[in-house]
A and B are shown apart, each in its own frame.
Chain A
């Protein structure tokens, strides 16, 4: 008891930077590139912010195939990196293996759940965020037709689409929602040309708001919206600044916070394992309002606030695609 008190006293006396020597954080990124203007980049931004705030360098690795993921996490752990952030659902299996080998190291996985005593699993309730921008799109639409452009056709993106559709139908149950996936390979995350084409075809069919959940492909979608004088909605990080005036809003997924919080918590000694589900209530997801879109969304703010409150209060039930692998609600 005495010793603990002493420790506490010392820790209180020491300036915060003293802790920096004690943690050596690391990130293993998702397959794809670090600068994907989306998921990986969000994590990277979180790490950058952490380094700026604390002057602690973050070790990083970008794997180029599945077997490198496990190799890299293990190597990080062996080198004494702690905590280690594992980005993306595709790392769940690898992390499951490595976390067992290093029970004293703290791991955080984003977008998936690994049930180990030394792993924090951070998931996002994308369906809530998508529901919100879906509702916003329906509110802003004059034609009663809106669009969705997905990246690679995988369950996660269908989850986005499903939430978006529900949100739109909640506002206007007769609304028509066009959905297109950019492709079936990883290249679909980085094909702005095709993104633009898909958006244009949706505009041609009468849509006047398009939500892109497609990583780098979205850039083409936003450009197309600007060129055609229609609205676009960004994804993951706040992309409103890209084309002020035609960016209706962005669905934000705070992956940067997930990384930052893990590092910060570890530093402060408050890191815990277990599942962390970040939804609207936790401000893990949301819709972005800033100086670039304030005027456009002004008329819908009130209604949106009501919907937000209802979601948080669980008055609106949103179906999660992942639960049934289908979008029936």
Chain B
């Protein structure tokens, strides 16, 4: 085996697996302390996430959200920016989806309204991300601070709109009225049914395909086009970018626009795919989880798909676990997720020196 291959394996496969195992080990310890059989718990989680069509449906439905938010973080990261604002961008994206879905449906056929609504979701998300991007590029405001602030502003704005503008009189729920029946995305079971395949009902819808398409798009953009080249140059070395005649400010705004658009698409999955109306807090932390997803997926679309699947499985399997074992509360599931983020993200390289030494020994013995 060649040394470079060994090094690739180390970073792409061995380390992430070890980190995950460590996280699982500590999870098992905590479960033992709380008098829960970890093997049984693991069984419920895996069974819940992958053991049935319904489980798969929910897992992949969450995965869809995580892919969008993971990509949103990753693309900004390649431009050297840390986009913490996926949460707000997804939320505001929902505003775009809703405005078009409710506003244009009386005048246009669904076949036109739906794509327009998807585009509006992306555009609104992009616009929301563009402001922090602009402030970073031209006003030296730190993107981490501004995107966090914009999450709060988005939340406040949406609550205001839901309570005062969209709310249906006499309804307690802060939610818009429902979209017309034909303004929605194909559910997965409908989609599969079209091909004559039976699939259990779940929130999974064809947004998953959109998410995978976005993965390809991001990969193509970053590694196959000169805009991607310029984004990566700015991210890796802004001085070299200026030297090369690339304007980092423009690239920053561009990367934030793209990131915001991707985050905005969460609302397509949630609103057009599942809720069919604008509801309070539909973004439910997906934006923040996207940071961990991007981190685990090493900001590469393939890695993000895998990490998103893992997180999707944790969400669905975790819900199942909480359902099956009353001792495991919802908070315990959050602890498990936290441990995975801790070991895969924050302590990513903990095993690197050890594994590298062993690996070299092995490589050399084989040489």
> Do chains A and B make direct contact within the complex (CB under 8 angstroms)?
yes
Kindly supply a per-residue 1/0 record for chain A positions 303-329, scoring 1 wherever the CB is within 8 Å of any chain B CB and 0 otherwise: 000000000000000000011110000
In the complex, residue of chain B having the shortest beta-carbon distance to the beta carbon of A57: B326
Question: Provided the pairs A112-B173, A156-B172 are in contact, do residues A64 and B163 lie with their beta carbons within 8 angstroms?
Answer: no
Q: Which residues of B contact A112 (CB under 8 A)?
A: 172-173
Chain A residues within 8 Å of chain B by Cβ, number: 35
Of the candidates A71, A90, A93, A186, the one whose C-beta lies within 8 Å of that of B58 is A71
Question: Which residue, of B170, B173, B175, B274, has the highest number of chain A Cβ atoms within 10 A?
Answer: B173
Give Cα distance in the complex from A185 to B171, angstroms. Answer: 19
Q: Which residues of A contact B329 (CB under 8 A)?
A: 62
Of the candidates B152, B280, B322, B333, the one whose C-beta lies within 8 Å of that of A154 is B280
Q: Which residues of B contact A71 (CB under 8 A)?
A: 58, 319
Give Cα distance in the complex from A185 to B160, angstroms. Answer: 10
Q: Which residues of A contact B61 (CB under 8 A)?
A: 67
Q: Is residue B53 within 8 Å, beta carbon to beta carbon, of the partner chain?
A: no
Q: Which residues of A contact B361 (CB under 8 A)?
A: none
Kindly supply a per-residue 1/0 record for chain A positions 51-91, scoring 1 wherever the CB is within 8 Å of any chain B CB and 0 otherwise: 00000000111111111100110010000000000000110
Question: Which residue, of A62, A63, A66, A75, has the highest number of chain B Cβ atoms within 10 A?
Answer: A66
Q: Is residue B74 within 8 Å, beta carbon to beta carbon, of the partner chain?
A: no
CB pair B172 A153 closer than 8 Å:
no
Q: Is residue B167 within 8 Å, beta carbon to beta carbon, of the partner chain?
A: yes
Q: Is residue B156 within 8 Å, beta carbon to beta carbon, of the partner chain?
A: yes
Give Cα distance in the complex from A63 to B330, angstroms. Answer: 8
Give Cα distance in the complex from A72 to B282, angstroms. Answer: 17
Measured between C-beta atoms, what is the minimum distance from A59 to chain B in Å? 8
Of the candidates A158, A185, A325, the one whose C-beta lies within 8 Å of that of B281 is A185
Q: Which residues of A contact B203 (CB under 8 A)?
A: 67
Q: Is residue A184 within 8 Å, beta carbon to beta carbon, of the partner chain?
A: yes
CB pair A64 B159 closer than 8 Å:
no
Give Cα distance in the complex from A126 to B277, angstroms. Answer: 27
Measured between C-beta atoms, what is the minimum distance from A162 to chain B in Å? 13
Question: Provided the pairs A112-B172, A112-B173, A154-B174 are in contact, do residues A90 and B279 lie with their beta carbons within 8 angstroms?
Answer: yes
Q: Is residue B284 within 8 Å, beta carbon to beta carbon, of the partner chain?
A: yes
Chain B residues within 8 Å of chain A by Cβ, number: 39
Q: Is residue A190 within 8 Å, beta carbon to beta carbon, of the partner chain?
A: no
Please provide the chain B residues from 254 to 280 with a CB less than 8 Å away from any CB of chain A in the complex.
270, 274-275, 277, 279-280
Q: Which residues of A contact B284 (CB under 8 A)?
A: 64-66
Of the candidates A60, A90, A322, the one whose C-beta lies within 8 Å of that of B280 is A90
Q: Which residues of B contact A153 (CB under 8 A)?
A: 159-160, 163
Please provide the chain B residues from 139 to 166 with a CB less than 8 Å away from any CB of chain A in the complex.
152, 155-156, 158-160, 162-164
Q: Is residue A236 within 8 Å, beta carbon to beta carbon, of the partner chain?
A: no
CB pair A323 B169 closer than 8 Å:
yes
CB pair A72 B323 closer than 8 Å:
yes
Q: Is residue A276 within 8 Å, beta carbon to beta carbon, of the partner chain?
A: no
Of the candidates B170, B173, B331, the one whose C-beta lies within 8 Å of that of A92 is B173
Measured between C-beta atoms, what is the minimum distance from B37 to chain A in Å? 20
Q: Which residues of B contact A68 (CB under 8 A)?
A: 319
Give Cα distance in the complex from A92 to B279, angstroms. Answer: 12
Q: Which residues of A contact B58 (CB under 8 A)?
A: 67, 71
CB pair A155 B167 closer than 8 Å:
yes
CB pair B159 A66 closer than 8 Å:
no
Please provide the chain A residues from 133 to 188 with a CB less than 8 Å away from any CB of chain B in the complex.
152-156, 158, 183-186
Q: Which residues of B contact A75 (CB under 8 A)?
A: 323
Q: Is residue A41 within 8 Å, beta carbon to beta carbon, of the partner chain?
A: no
CB pair B323 A155 closer than 8 Å:
no
In the complex, residue of chain A having the shortest beta-carbon distance to the beta carbon of B281: A186
Q: Is residue A31 within 8 Å, beta carbon to beta carbon, of the partner chain?
A: yes
Q: Which residues of B contact A155 (CB under 8 A)?
A: 163, 167, 171-172, 174
CB pair B170 A322 closer than 8 Å:
yes
Give Cα distance in the complex from A63 to B274, angstroms. Answer: 16
Give Cα distance in the complex from A323 to B333, angstroms. Answer: 40
Question: Provided the pairs A60-B326, A325-B167 are in contact, do residues A184 and B159 lie with their beta carbons within 8 angstroms?
Answer: yes
Q: Which residues of B contact A323 (CB under 8 A)?
A: 169-170
Give Cα distance in the complex from A153 to B174, angstroms. Answer: 10
Of the candidates A65, A90, A184, A325, the one whose C-beta lies within 8 Å of that of B156 is A184
Q: Is residue A208 within 8 Å, beta carbon to beta carbon, of the partner chain?
A: no
Of the candidates B164, B172, B275, the one whose C-beta lies within 8 Å of that of A89 is B172
Please provide the chain B residues from 174 to 233 with a CB less than 8 Å away from any CB of chain A in the complex.
174-175, 203
CB pair B173 A90 closer than 8 Å:
yes
CB pair A184 B160 closer than 8 Å:
yes
CB pair B173 A185 closer than 8 Å:
no
In the complex, residue of chain B having the shortest beta-carbon distance to the beta carbon of A67: B203
Measured between C-beta atoms, what is the minimum distance from A203 to chain B in Å? 25
Pairs of residues from A and B, 4 with the lowest C-beta to C-beta distance, nearest first: A184-B159, A89-B172, A65-B284, A184-B156
A-B contact pairs, 5 of them (CB 8 A): A63-B319, A64-B284, A90-B280, A92-B172, A325-B164
